[in-house]
Amino acid sequence: MPYDFIFEGGAQSFSFLCEVDGEVKVPDADPTYTIVDLRYGTDGAERTVQASASATLSTVSTTTTAASGPTQANDHKVTVASAVGIKEGDFLLLAKGQRDHVFIVDKIDSSDLYSLQPIPKDFASGATVVGVSSTGSFPSAEAADEDRLDSGGGPYAIEVVFVVDSVTHRRREIGFVKRTADKVWAYAHDVWRIDQTLQAQTKGQIWRVDVGLVNAHDRVRDDLRAKSLAPERVDAYALRRVVALACASDGRRQIGEHQMADHWDSQYQSTFNSVTQGVLPEGTVITNDDDEADDGTTAQRLRKFQLL
């Protein structure tokens, strides 16, 4: 998803993965990045926000002390020699010989890491576990520029350059400066929980889950707006499933699986209607006998009315 940088929030870090043909890779060295304001032409001095700088590749590096994978009692568990520096939500690469797998840390219990999804392959004890995320910084001066914020706050392109096996690769991330961050209800792992085969079937395809999540969040916000519903009035946990269903539908449709897309779309519509049923529109207030209704409206006990 696009990065949200908060106005007057100082220098703000962002993380990214180095992917080649849809697969997460460990770069040969720290990647570099530049940040440009896409509202300006390539020959304009104001276009460059951050000249080329080095990102910081995760320094997590440890080994497993027990086997992991589908033949183990808990196929989510990865036991490591040291969990120092590892946080929930980290992306880690588990590798042994010619076999490797990237997993997201869902929970940490001492030296036991629990993957968000089951480890799909067997890894013997002694496998390596390394961090694969890189971190850069959005400049504080740009985040404090109110004129640029008022003219749209972006988009900014973060142009990443990294090397894998001596081959140079490039990718682009997008970010915006905002006064407050848009609420994010769902992430990639929520989509994989809904549709457990979508991740594998979209690997190397043109569809990307981060873009799909942007589209899904936009769809949900538009549907809430059409019903005059403030997101704050709807249960955030329920909206997580709604967004994930919208993203799963988007992914299936983009790869041509329209029947499955229609299935998830039907689930989206029924779930959206269910979680918004009974939610009062924006501007709605509840009065009692002692309240004086706004704009001369007669107050009645527990009467619901919409302000005009």
Q: What is the dihedral of CA 290, 296, 301, 305, to 10 degrees?
A: -130
- Can you tell me the distance from the alpha carbon of 266 to that of 260, in angstroms, rounded to the nearest whole number? 10
Q: Which residues contact 73 (CB under 8 A, 6 or more apart)?
A: none
The per-residue pLDDT for 286 is 53
Q: Chain-wide mean pLDDT for the chain? A: 86
Question: In 3-state terms, what secondary structure has residue 302?
Answer: coil
Q: Assess whether pLDDT exceeds 70 at residue 289.
A: no
Highest mean pLDDT among 92-106, 129-143, 179-193 belongs to 129-143
Q: Assess whether pLDDT exceeds 90 at residue 116.
A: no
Half-sphere exposure of 146 (CA within 13 A, CB side): 0
Range of weakest confidence among 37-46, 73-82, 130-139: 37-46
Q: What is the dihedral of CA 14, 112, 75, 119, to 10 degrees?
A: 30
Assess contact for 3 and 155: CB atoms under 8 A.
no
As a whole number, mean pLDDT of residues 196-201 equals: 84
Q: Assess whether pLDDT exceeds 50 at residue 297.
A: no
The per-residue pLDDT for 284 is 60
The per-residue pLDDT for 302 is 39
Compute CA distances 293 → 208, 268, 279, 301, whole Å.
50, 37, 20, 11
Q: Residue 251 — pLDDT band, cuts 50, 70, 90?
A: very high
Q: Which residue has the higher pLDDT, 207 or 69?
A: 69
The per-residue pLDDT for 296 is 46
Burial class (CB in 10 A: 0-12, 13-18, 19+), 18: buried
Where do the domains of the chain lie? 59-131, 183-277
CATH says 59-131 is which class?
A: mainly beta
Q: Residue 287 — pLDDT band, cuts 50, 70, 90?
A: low
Assess contact for 192 and 213: CB atoms under 8 A.
no
Q: Residue 307 — pLDDT band, cuts 50, 70, 90?
A: very low
Whether the model clears a pTM of 0.75, i.e. scores above it, the answer is no
Residue type, 34: T
The per-residue pLDDT for 303 is 40
Tokens 């504080």 belong to residue: 140
As a whole number, mean pLDDT of residues 225-249 equals: 89
Token pair of 298 as six digits: 């007669």
Q: Assess whether pLDDT exceeds 90 at residue 143.
A: yes
Q: CA gyration radius for the chain?
A: 23
